[in-house]
Amino acid sequence: MDQIVCVAPESFETELETELRLSGATVEMRERLAIATNVPPSSAAAWAQNVWRNPIRIEFTSITDAAKKLRGLHPYWSLHSTVFHRRAQLIQDQLPKIKNPPIDFLGTLPAKTLGSWTLLDENSLLAATDCTSVFPDGEVTFNEDKEAPSRAYMKLWELFTVEGVRPAPGARCLDMGASPGGWTWVLAKMGCEVIAVDRASLAPAVSKLKNVKTLQRNAFTLKPEDVGPIDWFFSDLICYPKDLYDLVNKWRSSGLVKNFVCTLKFQGETDHASAREFAKITGSRLKHLSVNKHELTWWYQA
């Protein structure tokens, strides 16, 4: 039976479990780990920060035996412990040390792939050498920039650096819900031409940048034909995901936008139905970036 293990972001175990169950999968939760079977091949778990593919169950007789069996499969391993923590750590201590230093914006990603493993009980473990993230539990840390006008800039840093989705210098970008200006600041520093739209004003240091134009107004009433062709449509608007979906469709159907990056923000109950509508858009991706809170990032790159 096809099995995967998905790692939920901290505090979003329920979101991951619900998403997997709604896809038709059978799920066993072990804290942040969702051990899922019967996952439809087309469904990508947006709430999973790391997915362990083809996990194998390994029986072992001692700590040394477990470490030897893991080393025989792959050199580098990341432990996600949910039970028998001390025993698990003693096994991990017998494996080659892994380094996980903060990375630079648009810097190179770790070259070494990481296997992931967890103890199931005292004498068996679940391990996978094929994981979707090169970071332990898919958690990415950056060497930050104190100049940024808001923490939101980290979402674009992660998307651009880790997912390789990014506009080229000179790209015409629309930034919806731009204030105080973290995203606009990232895009402007990359050499993009930014139209920043928000009811609120931008931080003065950002609005002064020469490649930034501001439109202080309601983003929902802006007409595509009044803006013209756009290379990238960005939205970090605080709004209901279903309203964002309608907004995105308005701009998609205009034929004036090539690429999209949007944050789906949830308040209270997670709107899984709207998230699925976004995920269904052909060629797009929906993912909980490690920097996302109760939100998902959706993108479409032409």
Ligand X SMILES: C[S@@+](CC[C@H](N)C(=O)[O-])C[C@H]1O[C@@H](n2cnc3c(N)ncnc32)[C@H](O)[C@@H]1O
**Site residues (CB under 6 A) for ligand X?**
150, 152-153, 177-183, 197-200, 218-220, 236-239
The three-class DSSP label of residue 243 is: helix
**Residue carrying the six token digits 């015409």:** 172
156 and 261 Cβ atoms separated by less than 8 Å? yes
CB 117 to ligand X: min, Å = 37
CA distances for 69 relative to 65, 113, 135, angstroms = 6, 18, 22
3-class SS letters over 58-78: EECCCHHHHHHHHHHHCCCEE
CB 237 to ligand X: min, Å = 5
Q: Which of 70/291 has CB closer to ligand X?
A: 291
Q: Which of 140/291 has CB closer to ligand X?
A: 291
Q: Which of 9/181 has CB closer to ligand X?
A: 181
CB 166 to ligand X: min, Å = 16
Q: Which of 25/197 has CB closer to ligand X?
A: 197
Q: How many residues does the chain have?
A: 302
48 and 6 Cβ atoms separated by less than 8 Å? yes
Query: CA-to-CA distance for 46 and 58, rounded, in angstroms?
Result: 28
Q: Which of 102, 118, 120 is nearest to 110 (CA)?
A: 102
CB 200 to ligand X: min, Å = 4
Peptide bond into 180 cis (omega under 30): yes
CB 246 to ligand X: min, Å = 12
Looking at this protein, which amino acid is placed at residue 27?
Answer: V
Q: Which of 136/177 has CB closer to ligand X?
A: 177
Query: CA-to-CA distance for 213 and 192, rounded, in angstroms?
Result: 11
CB 231 to ligand X: min, Å = 18
Q: Which of 66/237 has CB closer to ligand X?
A: 237
